[in-house]
Amino acid sequence: MIDRSSEAFQQPPVEESAKAAQRIPLPPQSPFNRALLLLVSFRITRNIAAGMMIVALPYLVLHTLHDTSLTLGILYVVGVLSTAVLAVAAGQLADRWSQKGALIITGFMVPASALMVYGNQSLPMLMAAAVMGGFAATGSLIGGGIGGAGQPVQSAIIARISTPDNRTRYYSVLAFLSGMAGAGGALLVPCFSVQNTFLVAGLISLAGAAATLAITLPAAQPTPTVTRRQSQQAIRHFSITGALNGLSQGLITPFLIPFFVMVYHTPKASMAVYTAIGSILGAVALLAAPVLERRLGFVRSVTFTRALGTLLLLIMAFWHNLEVSLIIYLMTPALRIAALPAQQTALISRVEGNSMARALAANQVTRLSAASGAMLCTGYLFDISAIESPFILYAGVMAVNIYLYYRFFGRHGFKAAQPEAIPAEAAPAADEENGSAV
């Protein structure tokens, strides 16, 4: 049954009805349909498991196995590269075969990888699990991290069950729930040994993966016309900014926990709490994405939040004060991801309807490929105790990335609520929203 009391079905004034009918397709179903609820269940359990493994993995490598930060960096690189390759395959499967089938396949990879680590903590098994589960701390809330290979498929499914007017809100709410789940997972880590953490994470994510078997998707809805040339141009621009974003992300994000372990010798239980608080703040910040998109547009939203985050990270690198560093660490996820749902909407709105999963996957490949090289660089620099150097490199890359956002999207990326201002030669359609997932 369709719930016509929901916001998506509120009737506009008569004089606006004709315009609205021309601008957007009819909503496919109630926002509270069965497919969405099952997808939410899957996302929550996956991110509980991811939150547990993100905290546990550095302690497994650095303390249990007594290995180096370079080894941890190599594991992250293996996870990132495998995520990139698997994301391309999943995107092809989703667009050419079945979105549900691709979701099921990628969904079972996370529990399989967690159970592999539980069974055997040797370095070869860790490498194999990193390939399977995409072990990387590159931001599992939206577009990467553990289980990130399935993210383009999930984003395409959300686009399928939403409309342009509510899509950013869907992305924001699901990402918020994912972040809260990740925080909860981090808080569970002190309750178990490092080995048993992977067992519990595997069982929790297995339950969520099983939920994908019951998902039934609505028929695909018609989308505004986007030419192949416009779609390719959008993918190219977002891929360039995405690569730079991945480069900066790989330099810092996976090594924030090792930073506290190496500089302040922070115990596992305390680090789990700090990670949980940071995840909660980041998740809450995601709810601001629709407001940021409406008031600022995705360009100003992205550049403001990331410029402020860069400045704070430089302070943390050079001023080794535990209290100040913790405050900055807690703020970093919020500043990093607050505008991501709006970015995700932008990329979706600028590509052809039957290529959404492949476009999202291609974007993710450029981001994760760039991140992989950056992780090796930081792993090496941390290993030789040049801890401040990655933060300096991060600031330089982020400055170039901010410049390119204004260069590519500055003329029409300010007010997502007014897409008619987009020039015809650069815009995919006069009635589409702005935003992205890079």
* DSSP state for residue 6 in the 8-state scheme: S
Average the pLDDT over 330-342 and give the result: 80
Residue-wise pLDDT tens digits, 281-298: 877 887 777 777 777 777
Written as one string, the DSSP assignment of 45-79 is HHHHHHHHHHHHHHHIIIIIS---HHHHHHHHHHH
Tell me how far CA of residue 407 lies from CA of 238, 341, 400, 404, in angstroms: 12, 21, 10, 5
The proportion of the chain whose per-residue pLDDT surpasses 90, expressed as a percent, equals 6
Nearest one of 210, 182, 208 to 53, comparing CA atoms = 182
Torsion on CA atoms 366, 370, 371, 374, rounded to nearest 10: 180
pLDDT band at 22 (very low <50, low <70, confident <90, very high): very low
Is the confidence at residue 19, as pLDDT, over 50? no
Q: Which of 53-57, 141-145, 301-305 has the lowest mean pLDDT?
A: 141-145
Angle between helices 34-59 and 268-286 (to 10 degrees): 150
Instruction: Please give the Cα distance from 34 to 214 (Å, whole number).
Output: 9
pLDDT band at 203 (very low <50, low <70, confident <90, very high): very high
Q: What is the pLDDT of residue 222?
A: 53
Q: Which of 47-51, 84-88, 200-204, 252-256 has the lowest mean pLDDT?
A: 84-88
Instruction: Please give the Cα distance from 112 to 129 (Å, whole number).
Output: 8
Q: What is the pLDDT of residue 20?
A: 42
Between 314 and 17, whose confidence is greater? Answer: 314
Q: What is the pLDDT of residue 139?
A: 47
Contact 276, 322 (CB under 8 A): no
* DSSP state for residue 222 in the 8-state scheme: P
Instruction: Please give the Cα distance from 246 to 251 (Å, whole number).
Output: 8
Residue-wise pLDDT tens digits, 151-199: 777 877 787 777 767 777 787 788 788 778 877 888 888 888 888 989 9
Nearest one of 154, 272, 147 to 205, comparing CA atoms = 147
Is the confidence at residue 35, as pLDDT, over 50? yes
Q: What is the pLDDT of residue 200?
A: 92
Considering 249-253, 349-353, 397-401, 431-435, the range whose residues carry the highest mean pLDDT is: 397-401
Instruction: Please give the Cα distance from 438 to 434 (Å, whole number).
Output: 13
Tokens 């974007």 identify what position?
Answer: 363
Q: What is the pLDDT of residue 399?
A: 92
Joined together, the tokens standing for residue 24 give 């957007």
Considering 171-185, 213-227, 247-261, the range whose residues carry the highest mean pLDDT is: 247-261
Burial class (CB in 10 A: 0-12, 13-18, 19+), 32: exposed
Q: Could you give all domains of the chain from N- to C-terminal order, each with its CATH number?
A: 30-421 (1.20.1250.20)
Average the pLDDT over 396-407 and give the result: 89
Nearest one of 348, 219, 320, 189 to 260, comparing CA atoms = 320
* Other residues' Cβ atoms within 10 Å of the Cβ of residue 199: 16
The proportion of the chain whose per-residue pLDDT surpasses 70, expressed as a percent, equals 79
What three-state secondary structure class fits 436? strand
Q: What is the pLDDT of residue 328?
A: 92
Q: What is the pLDDT of residue 414?
A: 47
Between 428 and 284, whose confidence is greater? Answer: 284
What three-state secondary structure class fits 340? helix
Between 70 and 416, whose confidence is greater? Answer: 70
Is the confidence at residue 434, as pLDDT, over 90? no
Amino acid at 231: S
Between 405 and 276, whose confidence is greater? Answer: 405
Average the pLDDT over 329-351 and give the result: 78
Mean per-residue pLDDT over the chain, rounded: 75
Instruction: Please give the Cα distance from 254 to 401 (Å, whole number).
Output: 19
pTM given for the model: 0.65
The half-sphere exposure of 402 on its side-chain side, counting CA atoms within 13 A, is 18
- 47 contacts: CB under 8 Å, gap ≥ 6: 140, 141, 178, 179, 181, 182, 185
Instruction: Please give the Cα distance from 149 to 84 (Å, whole number).
Output: 7
Nearest one of 139, 130, 150 to 179, comparing CA atoms = 139
Nearest one of 179, 166, 169, 173 to 46, comparing CA atoms = 179
Contact 142, 184 (CB under 8 A): no
Q: Would you give the distance in Å from CA 233 to the centre of its chain?
A: 22
Q: What is the pLDDT of residue 419?
A: 37
